[in-house]
Structure 1
C-alpha cells in the first residue's frame, strides 16, 4: 500500500489557522492492535487504533492507567511491535522490520525522554550526550561539538563536566533532552517527562519542549498531568485500548476529564 504523506486527514483539516495540516505525516497508525499473552490469559492492550501525527505537531497522549497510552507510545517509538495493523514512521512501514533495523531507526529518527533520566552515573553530562552518536556512527571529531551545542541549547553549557549525582533533577532531565536531540531526530517521544520534577522545574522543561517544537521538531508526550498536556497543540485521549478522542483542544481538556 502506497501512502501519500501530504494528504491531510480529518484530524488535520487545512485552514488559515491550521497551516500545519499540509505538512508530511510523521506517524500513521493503521488499525493497530496489541495483544499480550495467549488464550484465557490474553490481554488486549490496544484494539483498532488509527492515528496520524504530522511534522511539526506537538501532541499529548492521555488516559487512565491501563488505557493503552504507554503501549501506543512503545509502538510509536519502535520499542514494541503491533500484533496486527500497520505503523508508518516517516512514510516507512516499520511494523515488521527486524530488530536490528528498528534499533537503527530509533537511534536516527527518534529522541526519547523518560521520567527516570537513565543517565549513566559514571559519565559526565557531555559524555552522556555524546553516547547516542557513537551508535549512530558519527565521527569522533563531530561528536563533541554536537554534544556541546545540544547542552547549550538546554542551558547547561556550564554543567557539561558534572556527573549526574552533581546535578539537580531538572538539570538531569535537561541532559536527557540534550541526549535526545543530539542525533537531530524528526520526533521527540517523552514518557511522563516531568513526573519526577517540581512545578517550577516542570515549567522550565516544558519551555524547552516548546522551543524544540517551535524549531520544527515533532513532539509527542505521554502524561497524566493536565497542566503538562495543556502545553501541547492537541490531546489524544485513550480509554480501554482505543482512542476515545483524537483532537482535544487544550482549553477543552477539563471538560473531557469531567465527562
Structure 2
C-alpha cells in the first residue's frame, strides 16, 4: 500500500474514488427506491435488484472517465509548472525558481523565529568562454551539464541547486555549520576539478570558482547574492579554482 500513489496524479486515487462513488450511487438508489413519501416509511422496492445493477452499469465508467480526466489535468499542470521552473539544459531550477525557493525558506524561518545557519554559494565555471570558442556551443553545453551533475552529486538531499544563467550556478545550503559549508564547497570544487572532459578526444580541464556567504539573519536573496558574488569576484581575482566564504554582515576582503 505504501507504494501506491494516492496523490491527484496517481491511479490509486482514481480507482478508490471510482469504487466509493459507485457504492454511494448504489446506496442512494436503494434509499430513494425504498422510502415511501406517502407513508414516510422504508420498504423494499418492486425490483430491488435494479438498484444494484443500474448503478453498477452507469456509475463506474462515469466516475472512471471523470476522475481520469482530472488526473490528466493534474499531471499536465505539474509538467507545466516543472517546465516553468526548470532550466532546460541542466534540469536544475532556473534563476527565478531558485530565488523564490530560497526567499520562501528565509521568510518561513523568520516567521517561526527559528535560529539556523544557512549559506548561499555562487559558482562560476572558469574560462568557460574558451570552451565555446574552441569547441563550439554544443560542446559548451555538454560541459555545463557535466558541471551541473557534479554539483548535484556533491550535495545532500536537503540542499538546493540552480542555474542562475550562462555558466553561473547557485547552491543553497540550509541548516549547515560554518565548517560544513566549507567542506561542501570544497567538495564541489574538487568534484569539478576531477571531471574528465574530453571533447573530440582531447582532454580539456574544467574548474570552478566559488563565492559564498554564510548567514543567520533574514536578508533578502538580492542581498545574499550580492555578498556571495563579491566573494566570487575575490576568488576569481586570486587565481580561480578556489573557494572564498564570508559571513553576512562582515566586511568583504579586498582582492590581492
TM-score, normalised via structure 2 length:
0.24
Which structure is higher in strand share?
A: 1
Which structure is higher in helix share?
A: 2
TM-score, normalised via structure 1 length:
0.24
